Amino acid sequence: MNTNMEHTNVQLIDLPNEVLLMIFKKLNNVELLYSLMGINTQLDRIISDSVFTKNLTLVRYFSSDLIYPLIDKILDRFCSQILPHIHSKINTLYLESLSMERILRVADYPNLHSLGLYNIDDKTAERVFSDESAQCHFYSCPYTLRYYHNITNSFQGGLFKCVREVSLFDEHPFEHEFFIRIAQSFPLMEKLCVINRIAQKQKLNENYECLSITEYRYLTELDLTDVNDDYVEQFLVDTNICLPSNIHLWTRYDSLKRVTQNFTRDAIRVNCGKINYLQMYDEFQVSERFTTYFPHANISRW
């Protein structure tokens, strides 16, 4: 639908309301509101019905991985005219980070009970939702994407059952408790990438007996190519993390060699035996000890 509908309002208002409802239900809610709100009282009354206003997705989709804000003229009209008119009728909003604050602050949403946010980072979320002057009241904020990227130490946790792919990045060390929080927050995670070159402050070999074993039940792919040795140890020591079988591991040969003490360290054998595919970023040497350490792995260079 486009703004040409404005020029057809004479024909539209000649139709019975029941017919208009049937037509409008086949159209996109956002486009409908943008095109017809404010044309006349009759149309405003019809499109202000909860069937058109209770669930709004105020983003643009270019693919499953590309989500952008509405174009400026549409966003301007929603913020200046449409949302102030229908705000009390909205139950669910889907927004993205660039336009989120503007939309949330334009009106009070007393009946909002579900909020989906795309492309939002932890700092923005903390700033927006801890602001005491914010006018909105939020009851639940479901995250519906299958991925959650660039998580830092500031991540507070939560439950994200839809997420299957996670990446972690920080310039400060990730400690064992952080990985427990990640496992609890993403119980169905299948892919994990860790990027952190800073050594852990709490070394694993100091107090193994004090650590809770972390379990990643559904993990199938683990990328440790750009990490300090401590994180390779973090995931491969069996008294620390329990990996499922059939893992695809990306890492560096030199790092593996150091962490496994030249493929002789017993504390790592159990998890290494669960690796089915091992791809290394750097050159490696195949020795008997190496292949014995990874008895089920298809080994190659990345």
The alpha carbon of residue 32 and the mean position of all alpha carbons in its chain are separated, in whole angstroms, by 29
Q: Is the pLDDT of residue 207 over 80?
A: no
Q: Is the pLDDT of residue 133 over 50?
A: no
Looking at per-residue pLDDT, the higher value among 150 and 31 belongs to 31
Q: Is the pLDDT of residue 181 over 70?
A: yes
In this prediction, residue 12 has a pLDDT band, given cuts at 50, 70 and 90, of low
Q: Please give the average per-residue pLDDT across 255-263, as a whole number.
A: 94
**Mean pLDDT over each residue of the chain, to the nearest integer:** 84
Segment 166-180, tens digit of pLDDT: 999 988 999 998 999
Q: Is the pLDDT of residue 9 over 70?
A: no
In this prediction, residue 197 has a pLDDT band, given cuts at 50, 70 and 90, of very high
The CA distance from 184 to 248, in Å, is 21
Q: What is the pLDDT of residue 140?
A: 40
Q: Please give the average per-residue pLDDT across 11-23, as a whole number.
A: 79
Looking at per-residue pLDDT, the higher value among 103 and 18 belongs to 103
Total-model pTM: 0.56
Looking at per-residue pLDDT, the higher value among 244 and 121 belongs to 244
Q: Is the pLDDT of residue 187 over 50?
A: yes
Q: Among 19-23, 41-45, 97-101, 220-224, which range has the highest average pLDDT?
A: 220-224
Q: Is the pLDDT of residue 238 over 90?
A: no
Q: What is the pLDDT of residue 130?
A: 58
The CA distance from 107 to 124, in Å, is 19
